[in-house]
Structure 1
Amino acid sequence: MSHTGVNAAEEFDAIIVGARCAGSATAIALAGRGLHVLVIDSARFPSDTLSTHLLWPSTMAEIHALGALPAVEEAGAPRLPIAEAILDETGWRTGYSPVSGIDYGMCLRRSHLDDALIRTASSLEADIRQQCRATGLISDDGRVTGIRYTDADDHERAAIAPIVIGADGRKSLVAREVGAKTPLISSRSGRSCYFAYWTDPRDDLRHIASQWRVDGLLGTAFPCDAGQTLCLLQPPVEFDDEFHGRKVTDAYREGVAALPGLARRLEGAEMVSRVRACTGIESYFRRSSGPGWALPGDAGHFKDPVTAQGIRDGYRYGRLLGERLAPILGSRGGPDPGAVDAATAEWAARREQDCVEIYQWTNVLASGSPPSPLEYEVYHRARDHPEYAQILSDIYNRVQAPSSMLPLTALPSLILGALRQPASSTREVVADVRTQVRRIRDDRNERRALVRASAG
């Protein structure tokens, strides 16, 4: 981290490192309130990035709140008002509860999605500089006051501001420079992620986002832009060796074939892209605020893609960070550093409180473990009771908390139902109940540990 003595540094109300989901959302919230905002990114947009890019209705509502919904819909991805999930051959299909009047999801390539948000930020006069790479932070007496970066012509430049916002992803330079790279809490995923694009001849299914699970294997089909479908495969990590190097395409196709429902969904379709991979996944919360800095998006908090929550949270908490800071940064007498830091601390605490339960539920789905007797019973109940299926879709949609899926009051009937299933033995059900009770206890302890670590 560099220190004082910055010559010819440009001055801004806020500096944002990273122009994708969280960075563009924060820029829109700040620039839309008249603040002078610098945003730098190493990419040249439109630009793709490694992402599964399913957008829930709550994500579409965030896009709407940012004023970018028309630009996003112009890309031509189909609306997805229906969700379905199938465990072996037991499945449920339902709609979503509306969020801000929006009851459909969407799956849109990041090259289109990010560009739409960046154009929205630019229209509000945010200063977005592409092909610029942050090289270090500037500080004064322990407080971050700016950045050093190389521009598109490889010239060294500097900029200063009352706040530096690191929206620069999991490998965040800002997080590393401020000493926040080590997580407060973390969880290694039991799954890896492989995905490719396919043509989609099934016009009758292009309004449905679908998921299939067999044993520990999970796969999805999300109709997306360009008349194609995004097919995601998440096998347990012990199968990673089968996906190495030249074997990845064959292993991916074999994984699709091992999910009969997914294989049927892709009948007549042709794979039209290479297989992309994300392995060694770790979910975490990092310390996300400090003197003169904040970390929205994946820089501060990341969840396994199995529940597709990252884009929504990047938009939402980027926007909320900008809205919280705008009146302080725009105050007539100039921003008070203590008020800036208090605002970012309150914002970070709110994100932790809002996101920790969905983080823990995501970690359960990301474990790669075979379905348990109680989980089968959840699917049986959702198949037979549409109102319960609605709860499950609304958990993904962030309208309901994961705890609403398995409240303690419903546990006895779920246990009884599991005991009645011929595929489950009493021993397996009892072991599953013990596992669920232990998980509830461990989750409670982890939440307490997060509060302690964050406060520390």
Structure 2
Amino acid sequence: MSEEHVDAIVVGARCAGSAAATALAGAGRRVVAVDAAKFPSTTISTHLLFAGGVAELARVGALERVEALGAPRHDEAYIGMPGAEVRGTYSPVDGIAYGMCVRRAGLDLALVETARAAGADVREGVKVTSLVEEDGRVAGVRVSARGMQGEHTLRAPLVIGADGRRSTVARLVGASEHLSNPNERACYYAYYEDPRTEWRGTAAMWLAGRELGTVFPTDGGLALSLLMPPKERADEFRLDLEGEYDRTVAMLPGMAERLAGRTRVTKIVQSVEQPSYFRRSSGPGWALAGDAGHFKDPVTAQGIRDALRFGRLLGEAAAPVLDHPARLDAVVRKWELRREAECLETYHWTNRLARADEVNPLQEQMLRMLAKEPEGSRRLLDVYSRVRRPGQLLTPGFLAGCAVGAFRRRGVDRRALLRTLTAEARTELTTRRDLFRAARMR
């Protein structure tokens, strides 16, 4: 068995892995990133970035490569539901005031190329088979590849698992979940040809009843059309995928109008089970980045942004202390607590939006009130861009005003509205409790 010593090993070379490898290599460290895929390679993903996510591409150094793929800039976003709609623009993040939706084959290849340009050794088609452990620490990995005789051992002071929700590294280190939430919505998406120029700069979402759908213009002259029906409808989709997809689009009149006359040009991709979680993400000689350590329901499209940001921050934090195990472990643990502190409120907000409930009068009133405010739509988009925390938008005063306005509307089922308010209060209490616990841990 051959053996090689490096400064850091990254398992998985997509968003989080490439960002971590780029930061480590940029700091002068010898880093090897391995991935079972060969790029360009796609993966299941809704791949939307708000302005804050595009800014993370720039911070990693990949934005120029990504923009060369030709995805249109989303200068505005739109949300529509029965009786209410809002359309707005983004507050600039590092001077960037637009979103993008970039197909993963091109996006991930651009990130891999960025890591290589920084000096990272990215090895494709390489699979981790086991970990190397010494004195109670992870000290490397054993890998195999097609055409490789036997296994090859890579040793390093730090192994970063950035290998997705079904992370091999997470499984091998026994990383447990300390927060989790089952998803209530499934995902079904496909690509449509999209010549409609009036929509090419808009990321749009529609809600009606319990249904949710989005259309995001993407590269290649296409648009990503995503449905997130209640998960219990999965059997209906399983029996007639294309028919049920089309019937569900028709339940969302605005989305149906957006796609009218457009041709679906790909198969429909589906993902039914996608629970949200935080896993323990640091230990002696190891860390978990991206979906390997933390995953949020795709309804708020935060995954790529967080993978890029916290992959980069992990690489930047670890690079100076790789030669000092005790300091390295402390730095990586501090990085994990920072990620949890920054993501926890958004995690609970996402779980709230991911409930497959009927659109209710409180939601409609919120959208009406935001649409009336001069900067209301921007305040909402700032939450998606992570410029503003959900609690800074959903203040007690704002929620009280929404509740009063909803109660005053004719035909509102006040008992149902009270149940909605009670559920919102419980969610807020859970969020505050977890934020308090995270603050104590820090």
- Scaled by the length of structure 2, the TM-score of the pair is 0.97
- Identify the residue that residue 43 of structure 2 maps to in structure 1: 49
Structure 1 residue 77 corresponds to structure 2 residue 65:
no
Contact 1:216/1:371, CA 8 A, preserved across alignment: yes
- Aligned counterparts, 1:145-294, within 5 A: 145-155=139-149, 156-180=151-175, 182-244=176-238, 247-294=240-287
User: Which residue in 2 is equivalent to 1:349?
Assistant: 337
CA offset digits 1:364-403 (Å, max 9, x no partner):
1111111222211101112222311111111111111111
Superposed counterparts of 1:384-423, under 5 Å: 384-423=372-411
- Of 306, 311, 320, which aligns to 1:318? 311
1:404 & 1:354 partners in 2: Cα distance?
14
5+ long unaligned stretches in structure 1 = 1-6, 330-334
Instruction: Give the drift of 1:188.
Output: 0.2
| Residues 15 and 308, structure 2, Cα contact 8 Å, conserved in 1 | yes
Shift of 1:127: 0.6
Q: Distance in 2 between matches of 1:88 and 1:384?
A: 16
How many residue pairs were aligned?
441
Equivalent of residue 59 in structure 1, options 50, 53, 59: 53
DSSP-derived class of the 2:86 partner: strand
Deviations 1:382-429 (A, max 9, x none): 222231111111111111111122201223322211112124133233
Deviations 1:69-89 (A, max 9, x none): 110000000000101100124
Does the CA-based 8 Å contact 1:373-1:428 persist in structure 2? no
Q: 1:336 and 2:324 equivalent?
A: yes
Question: Letter of the aligned partner of 1:375 in structure 2?
Answer: Q
Contact 2:52 2:93 in 1 (8 A): yes
Aligned to 2:108: 114
**CA offset digits 1:214-242 (Å, max 9, x no partner):** 01110000000010100000001111111
The 5-angstrom pairing of residues 132-147 of structure 1 reads: 132-147=126-141
User: AA paired with 1:188?
Assistant: P
SS in 2 for 1:9: strand
Offset from partner CA, 1:315-360 (integer Å, 9 cap, x none): 000000011011112xxxxx11001100100000000000000000
In 2, Cα distance between equivalents of 1:238 and 1:440: 26
Q: Give 3-state SS (helix, strand or coil) of 2:375's partner.
A: helix
* 1:185–1:450 CA contact under 8 A, matched in 2: no
Cα deviation for residue 249 of structure 1 reads 1.2
Structure 1 residue 430 displacement after superposition: 2.5
Distance 1:32 1:442 in 2: 40
State the identity %: 46
Aligned residue for 1:138, secondary structure, equals strand
Of the three residues 330, 348, 363, the one matched with 1:375 is: 363
The one-letter code of the counterpart of 2:160 is I
Quote the offset at 1:450 in angstroms: 6.0
Q: In 1, distance between residues paired with 2:38 and 2:112?
A: 11
Residues 238-279 of structure 1: per-residue CA shift (max 9 Å, x gap): 11111115x111111111111000000001100000000111
Counterpart residue identity of residue 119, structure 2: E
> Hey, what does 1:426 align to over in structure 2?
414
Query: Which residue does 1:15 correspond to in 2?
Result: 9
1:432 Cα offset (Å): 2.3
Deviations 1:177-233 (A, max 9, x none): 1110x3111000100000000011211110000000001110000000010100000
Q: Point out where structure 2 has 5 or more consecutive residues left out of the alignment.
A: none
2:349 corresponding residue in structure 1: 361
Output the TM-score relative to the length of structure 1.
0.94
Q: CA deviation at 1:448?
A: 4.9
Secondary structure in structure 1 of the residue aligned to 2:399 = helix
Query: Counterpart of 1:295 in structure 2: which amino acid?
Result: L
Contact kept, 8 Å, 2:192 with 2:222, in 1: the verdict is yes
Give the distance between the partners of 2:267 and 2:411, measured in 1 at CA.
Answer: 39
Which residue in the other structure is 1:4 paired with? none
Q: Secondary structure at the match of 1:251?
A: helix
Q: Which secondary structure does the structure 1 equivalent of 2:184 belong to?
A: coil
Partner AA of 1:168 in structure 2:
D
Whole-Å separation in 1 of the counterparts to 2:157 and 2:47: 33
- Going from structure 1 to structure 2, the CA distance change for 1:450 and 1:372 (only over 3 Å counts) comes to farther
Aligned counterparts of 1:354 and 1:308: Cα–Cα separation in 2: 16
For 1:93-112, list aligned pairs within 5 A.
93-112=87-106
Q: How well do the aligned residues superpose, as a CA RMSD in angstroms? A: 1.4
Letter of the structure 2 residue corresponding to residue 78 of structure 1? P
1:444 aligns with 2:432: yes
Give how far 1:451 is off: 6.8
Offset, 1:443? 2.3
Partner of 1:332: none
Q: CA deviation at 1:95?
A: 0.2
> Does the aligned pair in 1 maintain the 2:86–2:370 contact within 8 Å?
yes
The answer to whether the 8 Å contact 1:87/1:376 transfers is yes
